[in-house]
Structures are given as structure tokens and as C-alpha cells.
Amino acid sequence: MAKNEPLQEVACALYFLVAMAAFSGHSLAGEAFGFASGVSDGDTFYMVIDGKSTRLRLAEVDAPEKKQPFGRRAEQSLRALLGERPITVTWDKVDRYGRPIVQVYAEGVNVNAEQVGRGFAWVYRQYARTSRLYILENEARLERRGLWSDPSPIEPWVWRKAGRKKEG
């Protein structure tokens, strides 16, 4: 029985990975080409992948929530960036809601970085891996673009946390 234990551990690990991918509807890593089919907010949109409408989340950035100042403008900015252009999305993670966390390119433009540069998203410090995003955020802040025209903008993760405290 002891000889089979490592094999059983590997089988369990593989089963877990397959189950995770099946549960989310996507492999843990992927790439897709197509068009955005809708925009939810400043960092979330829809695209048809493998014949199924899929909700996608921009990687490394966090845009204001819809009810937060600049939330609607962030949504409009993302809608304008995606437009009716062909887009490429790549991902290597799926979040707890089953959304692929994507890097998006529309006609060669990095949409994630552009949202930050326009002042309609913060660098999501907890998850950011791209140092250029910090430069873009600082430039937007210095030039008072988008949400940086507000003298005291509130980060979405702080705003969401304050909302949960009010509810509970």
C-alpha cells in the first residue's frame, strides 16, 4: 500500500487541478481573440470565449466602483478603449469568482495600462507585477487626469471595505 501513496497524491493533485479548471469554465492559462461583448465597469468586461459569454477582470489594476466617484467615467473609458476593435486577452489566473484575470490588447494598446494612464484605475498594489504601471499612475496623478482631479480620491479596495463595514 505504501508504494501507491505517491501515485495517489499525484492523482489527487491532478484531479483537483482538473476540477478547478472545469469549475471555472477555463483553463488556468489561456489566450483568446475576438471582441468585447459588453462592459460591466472600469475593470470588468465580457467576451465570447469558446462560444460562451465570459466575464473577464483586468489584471493588476483596480478601477473605481460604479457608485464611487469616477466609477461611471472609468466604465466609459474601458468601453471606449475596447470599442468594436479586435482584442487579444491572455491570462494565467482565475479569481475566486471564476473570472480570468486578463491582460488586454486592443490594436496594440495595453488596455490595462491605458486605464491607469488615463486616470481611471489605480495600480492594484496587492497584485501588480508590472513596474511601468506605477510610472503611469504617477504621471496621471501629477497631471490630475481622471480620478486624480479629485483632491482626495479613495482607492476602490478601501471604498469596498468601508461599504462592508456599514452593512455588517
Give catalytic residue positions: 57, 65, 99
Q: Classify residue 115 as exposed, middle or buried by CB count within 10 Å of its CB (0-12, 13-18, 19+).
A: buried
Query: Pairing state of beta strands 52-58 and 100-106?
Result: parallel
The closest alpha carbon to 30, from 94, 96, 113, belongs to 94
Cell of 49: 470565449
Of the candidates 102, 117, 23, 9, the residue with the CA atom closest to the CA atom of residue 58: 102
- Inter-residue long-range contacts of 159-168, CB under 8 Å, 24+ positions, other chains counted: 159/64, 159/65, 159/68, 160/65
Contact 69, 104 (CB under 8 A): no
Closest CA to 128 of 39, 45, 61, 38: 61
Position 132, amino acid: R
